[in-house]
Amino acid sequence: MGRLFGTDGVRGLANRDLTAELALDLAVAAAHVLGESGQLRTHDGGRPRAIVGRDPRASGEFLEAAVVAGLASAGVDVIRVGVLPTPAISWLTDMHDADLGVMLSASHNPMPDNGIKFFARGGHKLADEIEDRIEARLDEPWDRPVGAAVGRITDLNDAAAEYAAHLVSTLPNRLDGLLVVVDGANGAASYVGPLAYRLAGAEVIEIHCSPDGLNINENCGSTHLGDLQRAVIEHGAHAGFGHDGDADRCLAVDAAGQIVDGDQLLALLALALRDRGELANDTVVATVMANLGFRHAMSQAGIAVVETAVGDRYVLEEMRRDGHILGGEQSGHIVMGRHANTGDGVLTALHTLARMAEVNASLAEVAGVMTRLPQVLINVPGVDKSRVESDPVVQGAVLEAATALGSSGRVLLRPSGTEPVVRVMVEAVDAAQAEQVAQDLAQTVATALAL
């Protein structure tokens, strides 16, 4: 059996893989492990404190009940905050001096899935070692508290307003005069996202902001931007933003309906911070998949780029290790470290709009700080991914391709972390060249590394 925790908590088909029983057991085990490691303290009432939130999925209702029951039965006081984005749970965990945060969401996954993500004190993700200890403690017998030692459950009814006010307080300037379309993916940002944009001064048009528990991510949000593109053009909006189910990321659409991806958002935010003298170390953190055009733009601006493996947790680790305050991924998962401990799609959108207002420019203009080079990605299945680095035929083909592309292109071969697949990525100034080089490399990998 594989590891229960993935790169972003525990996920699976709700009520089949992720059951109420498992959710309860995970909550109890987390309380025990964190308590024994000294990460749970006593507050008023003599018990630890946890924040619990969720996205609008129907299954989140019974999973929330199970998690809350597990924590309270283990002697933890629980503050329920209802439907809010993942980054809101991280922030509220910190702001309310809680010892543990729990978010129930499967992010951009289809509605039938769900997930459980834990945050430690301060709103930080749990270390792998702590997750492994929690998994090892499932189903163990334990001494249950009784009487006044059991946890109490309360609701924080103004959590959305509190979080929205925090987001707006981070802005360098207001957004008055800007018209923005927001696609909430019928997810966790459907209420608090439009609320924050309006508090900051923007005029807001909402689409897919009517969650019913079943329609989350359904042909909408950051993974399906067609409706957002049409709405921006129809309403003559200055910009549009599409969130995913738990709103820890966003992608944008400019006034002409063109998509602005995470690399472009990261680039314009880096320049905004640098221009205000706020970009720590004049450095931004990005993954190996960041577009070569992003690297060129940062180099021209005198901003260093620190590269990590794909995954927001690796971006976060690098930022925390060396004190960097900005990092992100092409998917639109961007971390603004002075204001959040995780990616925050609403925060990203607000600061993008603030940059537009600050310099009185369109989204296309501020995103134009980088030229996105054509990027071709091909997945090659059924191969021995462990031999990518050592196979002489493959490495010879990579060297030949890189030499042909020169400094205006890039080749990256990346083994999948979960399946027998090698991802071939090629960037070049010419789209046809990028496609041809990628196809040739993919054929070489398929032949040389065939299982």
- Per-residue CA distances from 3 to 128, 310, 318 (Å): 11, 19, 24
- Per-residue CA distances from 266 to 39, 110, 152, 325, 427 (Å): 34, 27, 42, 12, 19
Q: Cα–Cα distance between 246 and 419 in angstroms, integer?
A: 26
Tokens at 389, concatenated: 């680095």
Residues 6 or more apart in contact with residue 181 via CB below 8 angstroms: 204, 205, 206, 207, 228, 231, 232, 235, 237, 239, 240, 241, 253
Residue 291: count of CB within 10 angstroms of its CB: 24
Residues 6 or more apart in contact with residue 390 via CB below 8 angstroms: none
Q: Which of 107, 190, 222, 331 is catalytic?
A: 107
Burial class (CB in 10 A: 0-12, 13-18, 19+), 302: exposed
Q: Residue for token digits 């909006």?
A: 237
Contact between residue 304 and residue 283 where contact means Cβ atoms under 8 Å apart: yes
- Per-residue CA distances from 32 to 97, 133, 142, 299 (Å): 19, 10, 9, 48
Question: Quick one: three-class SS letters along 61-91?
Answer: HHHHHHHHHHHHHCCCEEEEEEECCHHHHHH
CA dihedral 55, 57, 63, 69 (to 10 degrees): 50
According to DSSP H, which parts of 309-430 are helical? 312-322, 345-359, 363-367, 392-405
Annotation marks residue 107 as catalytic: yes
Q: Which amino acids are annotated catalytic?
A: 107
